[in-house]
Amino acid sequence: MDIEEFRRRGKEMVDLMCNYYTTVHERPVRSQVEPGYLRPLLPDAAPAEGESFDDILSDVQSHILPGITHWQSPSFFAYFSANSSPPGLLGEMLSSALNTIGFSWITSPASTELETIVLDWLGKLLGLPHAFLAVGPDGKLGRGGGVIQSTASEATLVALLAARSRAMAGRPPEDALRLVAYSSDQAHSCMQKACMISGTRHMRQLRARADRAWALDPEDLQAAVEADVAAGLIPFYLVATFGTTSSCAVDPLRPLGELAARHGMWMHVDAAYAGVAAILPEQRAGLDGLELAHSFDTNCHKWLLVNFDCSCLWVRDAEPLKEALSLTPHFLRAKGNALDYKDWQVPLGRRFRALKLWFVLRTYGRAGLQAYLRHHLALAATVEARVRADARFELAAPPRFALVCFRLKGASCEQNAALIESVNQTGRAFLSHTELGSQYTLRFAISGAQTQACHVDAAWQLVADKASELLGAQHL
């Protein structure tokens, strides 16, 4: 395939992409295939000679699309969304074409420098403390700054590694065995995975309680830390969550940060989903105390119209991160803006992901992004109102951001599970579930790029109808 064929095929692909977005609402949201569906449909080896792109596209239509769960459907309300947008797509296209591997500054200066600048832009939009920005209000380079990670999982891991490097400075290697990390049991599973990967032996997942709206209680943390210190352990890392996966609970950053400071712990704020809501000044209350954190991460690929992946991590001081991840001796490390982002992440190679973020921030502007976020918050409020208005249901947690957790009141786990499965089986909406205080809980997460009131209304009506069928059938 030469460049001229690519020109033709590329434009056909753009049409296919547009066609996909204008018709995705007609497809079953959750794929309806069975495990193993694809292998019998494909040859068991690559072809000996090249095939035509028409044949490939034909297989995409017939074999691949039925196996897609449509994250871009306006009726996708499961997990948290994965936003796609026109400028996000255009940024991906350009980044793929340049296909740079920006592991160090010289391997593509624009890739590194745009990332630093655009993360300062986004940090300002979010109202982050100045210390998290690369360039402070005085125009000078500080010790902090932002970097794009693949996912919040990777951010939680590298923050742990930075915390370990900071905690171990001047200590004998055996002390690594006594390090202990903390979070609530509502923190994302990536916290546990980060401990497994890094070989962190001690991890406390403190139980969050319903009466604190599933947030981590600083008194519980304090008791755990004191017990560990008394037992000879070394507290080093605390993950506080701003918008947990299950219920969007917000851990109280100020008291947690004060406690972390007293015990020399690194506090990482995992705001994977909800962090971008801080573009709205009225959503920032839960970030009070953020200046006490050492790192903060939010995913622009969830709710900010940037195609996956684009997880934005800021650190107040990049030195412990480099200490943990750089193989370059301290005295040889790049100074000033000529930073090498390979020293801020797990992999060596990295794509030019700042382009798509830059395109999105410029295309929508602050006002456009604010309107977008408020649109989803308003839609979530309508779902909350309907749960409250229907006596068969109860809220399972205080609705936060654009997530509403609910369940059939007084019903069993099995009944709630049957309800969600009957909804999802229709293909007309896709919700996911969680567990809160051992209770099966349905999640209605509204942050799809194409989601409008009609989609939310239809999905709620579907839930209500299926509840009627279920409750009727079971003679409750």
Strands 234-241 and 202-206: unpaired
Question: Which residue number, 253 or 304, has a Cβ lying nearer to a copy of itself?
Answer: 304
Which one of 115-123, 207-215, 224-232, 290-298 is the stretch in contact with a copy of itself (CB under 8 A)?
115-123
Residues of this chain, 152-191, that bind a copy of itself according to CB under 8 A:
152-154, 157, 161, 164, 173-174, 176-177, 189-190
| Distance (Å, whole) CA 52 – CA 8 | 13
When binding is defined by CB under 8 A, the residue of 150, 186, 295, 451 that contacts a copy of itself is 150
Question: Which residue number, 154 or 317, has a Cβ lying nearer to a copy of itself?
Answer: 154
Query: Tell me, what DSSP letter sits at residue 426?
Result: T
Site membership for a copy of itself, residue 203 (CB under 8 A): no
Site membership for a copy of itself, residue 231 (CB under 8 A): no
Shortest CA distance to 262 belongs to which of 298, 225, 314?
A: 225
Site membership for a copy of itself, residue 437 (CB under 8 A): no
Site membership for a copy of itself, residue 415 (CB under 8 A): no
Site membership for a copy of itself, residue 332 (CB under 8 A): no
Amino acid code (one letter) for 29:
V
How many CA atoms, within 13 angstroms, populate the side-chain half-sphere of residue 195?
A: 21
Least Å distance between CB 321 and a copy of itself?
Answer: 12
Question: Which residue number, 122 or 253, has a Cβ lying nearer to a copy of itself?
Answer: 122
| Distance (Å, whole) CA 400 – CA 385 | 13
Question: Which residue number, 45 or 391, has a Cβ lying nearer to a copy of itself?
Answer: 45
Site membership for a copy of itself, residue 51 (CB under 8 A): yes
Site membership for a copy of itself, residue 472 (CB under 8 A): no
Amino acid code (one letter) for 473:
A
Look-up of token digits 């056909």 = 12
* Burial label, 105 (beta-carbon count in 10 A; 0-12, 13-18, 19+): middle
Angle of helix 354-389 versus helix 453-473 axis, rounded to 10: 40
When binding is defined by CB under 8 A, the residue of 27, 28, 29, 68 that contacts a copy of itself is 68
Q: What is the CA radius of gyration of the chain?
A: 24
CA 377 to chain centre: 18
Which one of 36-44, 221-229, 282-290, 382-390 is the stretch in contact with a copy of itself (CB under 8 A)?
36-44
Is residue 238 left, alpha or beta, with left meaning phi > 0 and alpha meaning psi from -120 to 50?
beta
Residues of this chain, 333-392, that bind a copy of itself according to CB under 8 A:
334, 336-338, 346-349, 351, 355, 358-359, 361-368
Site membership for a copy of itself, residue 127 (CB under 8 A): no
Total number of residues binding a copy of itself (CB under 8 A)? Answer: 134
